[in-house]
Amino acid sequence: MNCIQRHTPVHARFFATLVALGGLGAISACTGRVETTGAAAPNTTNTPGDGTSANGPTTSGNASSSGSVVPTAYDGQGFVVHEWGTNTVVVGSDGSLQVGMHHEEEGLPSFVYDRIKSNKQDGVPATDKLETPVTYFYSDKPRKVTAKVNFPKGVLTQWYPQVVQTLPVVGWPMQGTAVADPALDRTFAFGSEACRSKFGTPANGLLDWGTIEILGPGEAASVPAAPLDQYTWSYARDVKANVIRNARGQHENYLFYRGLGNFEQPALVTTKALGKLTLTNKFTASVSSVFVIHVESRGGSFNEYQGEVASGRSLEREVPTIGKEDLDSYAESLGQAVTNALDRSGLYHDEAVGMVNTWKRQWFRTPGTRVLYIAPQSWTDAVLPLTITPKPDKTTRVLLLRIEVISPEVEAKDLEGLQRFAGATSTSDGETYFRALGRFAEPRLRRALSLASLDSKFADAQRGAVSFLETIATKETSSAHGE
């Protein structure tokens, strides 16, 4: 059974795409094509720039949520790996995960390898947006290690530095001459429905960096330019980790990757009318540091639960109301509280500060109601298995989960917005309403359509809304949500 064409002439520009994606690889007998490109392939994407990095140890500590003392910085001894990142989902009032999370919001520098931009990406059916995991290496001496990350229920879409292998593979459809991405392109011409079922979803992702050199303590190197007035990328560089170098000679302060997937969260977040919110831990280990945040144009407010929510237990909170504190003052207070929580989780202090600076606009200033909490490391290890060889003396991974909540009140407003698609004259009012939601327009519209399907009075509106949904799902994949 063939899913991807075996032999087709390769145009030069598609060869560049293959190099940027780590080359073609075997899916199985279903694909036919069996080729790979290694780390020595020419670099067609990276543009070196200015920048340096150095490290220097200090020794002090903070108390964790369990009462133990965690170090605030690397103590200069042994081999330690730290990682932080975030995963974003949108949930209905019943906690249901909404599809449509492939839309981009934070731009990335041009040197970052991008599976989405390199291939046609046509409405990926993803409920989870894995954003900005960065992996730091701390060592008391130069070392050589191998590093790879798997994503069983998703595809890793962007990364830096370059890898020696990425899965799933890209290739040529059975009918066509253009390189395409079977995991991200809904129109990919598979040889059969069996192939589409097996390879046409974002799953079984892999990034393999091969051998990475960890430079010695304090050893600096030039890294690509990423000005802070254009990108948040360099906030993560302001960390005293060792510089790393891959086989192509690319330097960076960390490994970076993003992804899209479909997987259950460790906790279910549901909302009822009048701001009643419940977080129920469905995982086998505790979740911790729960923040409930509400932002409007006139200001923001939050409440924090600093303890742990044990497996099978629930935490009930109220969505905070907006007080007299201005937006800037609220954001500063919340930033300090989240930084403290990340310190307690085991991150070094400069890592926690870098993480908050990277995401503070999206977390703290985007209008809406959201929950932030720290996932158990055992959950992160299951969702994103990270393999470093030789094994570090200690590995700490902190994934902060972001749940955008559609409350019953917001669902009612979205249904009103959906009703604006009714009538034979124009659907522009409905389009205006949902476009104003930015990157969350698609999941919000999908939730509204799901609710509308239960009531016949929305039948006329649904026709126009479904057409608009197709447009924003497949064509408008980059959109910013205003502060």
Q: Which two tokens stand for residue 186?
A: 């809904």
- Asked if 127 and 199 touch (Cβ cutoff 8 Å), the reply is no
178-194 confidence digits (pLDDT tens): 677 888 877 777 878 88
Rounded Cα gap, residues 336 and 216, in angstroms: 32
Position 23 scores a pLDDT of: 45
Rounded Cα gap, residues 380 and 83, in angstroms: 11
Rounded Cα gap, residues 386 and 378, in angstroms: 12
Residue of 447, 470, 459, 451 whose CA lies nearest to 90: 447
| C-alpha pair distances (Å), 67 with each of 62, 105, 182, 308 | 9, 37, 48, 12
Position 63 scores a pLDDT of: 62
Q: Which two tokens stand for residue 77?
A: 């001894």
* One-letter identity of residue 477: T
Rounded Cα gap, residues 8 and 6, in angstroms: 7
pLDDT band at 5 (very low <50, low <70, confident <90, very high): low
Over residues 231-251, the mean pLDDT reads: 96
From the number of C-beta atoms within 10 Å of its C-beta (0-12, 13-18, 19+), residue 316 rates as: exposed
427-473 confidence digits (pLDDT tens): 688 999 999 998 999 999 999 999 999 898 999 899 889 989 988 88
- Asked if 81 and 454 touch (Cβ cutoff 8 Å), the reply is no
Cis peptide before 57 (omega within 30 of 0): no
210-219 confidence digits (pLDDT tens): 999 999 999 9
Bridge-based pairing of strands 79-91 and 394-405 is parallel
Residue of 293, 362, 365 whose CA lies nearest to 328: 365
Q: Which two tokens stand for residue 190?
A: 């598979």
At which residue do the structure tokens 């932030």 appear?
372
Residue 38 has pLDDT above 60, yes or no: no
Rounded Cα gap, residues 173 and 167, in angstroms: 17
Question: What angle is formed at CA 184 by the lines to CA 444 and CA 42, rounded to 5 degrees?
Answer: 130
98-131 confidence digits (pLDDT tens): 998 988 767 799 999 988 776 555 567 899 999 9
Rounded Cα gap, residues 399 and 306, in angstroms: 16
CB atoms within 10 A of CB 230: 11
* One-letter identity of residue 138: Y
Q: Which two tokens stand for residue 150?
A: 């798997």
Question: How confident is the prediction for the chain on average, in pLDDT?
Answer: 84
SS3 sequence, 221-251?
Answer: CCCCCCCCCCCCHHHHHCCCCCCEECCCCCE
Position 32 scores a pLDDT of: 31
Long-range contacts of 187-192 (CB under 8 A, 24+ apart): 187/120, 187/122, 190/3, 190/4, 191/1, 191/2, 191/3, 191/4, 191/30, 192/1, 192/3
What 3-state DSSP class applies to 357? helix
- Asked if 123 and 473 touch (Cβ cutoff 8 Å), the reply is yes
Phi-psi region of 200 (alpha: psi -120 to 50; beta: other; left: phi over 0): alpha
Residue 281 has pLDDT above 50, yes or no: yes
What 3-state DSSP class applies to 387? strand
Q: Which two tokens stand for residue 239?
A: 């960390």
Residue of 37, 248, 211 whose CA lies nearest to 137: 211
- Asked if 414 and 465 touch (Cβ cutoff 8 Å), the reply is no
pTM of this structure: 0.86
Residue 85 has pLDDT above 80, yes or no: yes
Which of 107-111, 380-384, 411-415 shows the lowest mean pLDDT across its residues?
107-111
Residues present in the chain in total: 483
Rounded Cα gap, residues 146 and 440, in angstroms: 37
CB atoms within 10 A of CB 66: 11
